[in-house]
Amino acid sequence: MNIVDLTVRYGAATAVDRVSLEIPPGTTVGLVGESGSGKSTLAKAIVGLVPIASGRIDGVDPRRRQIVFQDPYGSLNPRMTVGASVAEGLGLPRAERAAEVRRLLAQVNLDPALADRYPRELSGGQRQRVAIARAIGARPELLVADEITSALDVSVQGAVLNLIRELRAERRLSVLFISHNLAVVRYVADIVAVMRAGRLVEVGPTDQVVGAPRDEYTRALLAAVPNLGGRPAVTR
């Protein structure tokens, strides 16, 4: 997918300013930046949730783009069972839905028996996996993951990150993984794009951006990175 000179405005304020970014098939691009940098607005523009002022998005049909948000509870209908939520967008005959729901739940490492539960009965990590199952059930070419681990306990974050890596490999998904935490992005992404004040200030292979950042803002983000997996997140 190619994003070309994309601009998004809220009234007179420019939230995304002429952003161009390529997300190759089967690749995870990590989009990192502080709160208010425009990351989530870019995500919403990609999936059609906010209008684009100018620019274009090429390469992936809008119907094949799915997004998973930070708060899975907000994206799941509290009055619907997990199974009904996952089945909602499948577009399958009723007789085939239950089996596909079980398959999708198993693929995100959930017990298929949870299909009969309600979102309030699940942990935050389980709800996030349900949201991912719901998204991949639509067979997307692009999955946008917007801060999907930031509300989770550290013990759960790693499992969700590993799940994203597994799904990308199995389904040859393109993934735009958005986070304010460069340590998390480093773990999951092939390419890192750094966003500040609505613009991309640095884009490159993860090892290059983390190991030899060119931009001062990127260096500041790296300086604030906590340890990941017991090892220093940045080697200098």
DSSP state string for 1-29: -EEEEEEEEETTEEEEEEEEEE--TT-EE
Domain that residue 86 falls in: 76-140
Which of 119, 140, 161 is the C-terminal boundary of a domain?
140
Our count of domains for the chain comes to 2
pTM of the predicted model as reported, rounded to 2 decimal places = 0.85
Render pLDDT for 43-77 as a digit per residue (tens, 0 to 9): 999 999 999 999 999 988 888 898 888 776 677 88
- Is 194 in contact with 209 (CB distance < 8 Å)? yes
Higher pLDDT, 190 or 154: 190
68 lies in a domain? no
Render pLDDT for 64-73 as a digit per residue (tens, 0 to 9): 898 888 776 6
Same domain as 84, residue 46: no
10 Å CB burial of residue 148 (0-12, 13-18, 19+) is: buried
Domain harbouring 223, CATH code: 3.40.50.300
The percent of residues in the chain predicted with pLDDT above 70, rounded, is: 94
pLDDT value, residue 51: 95
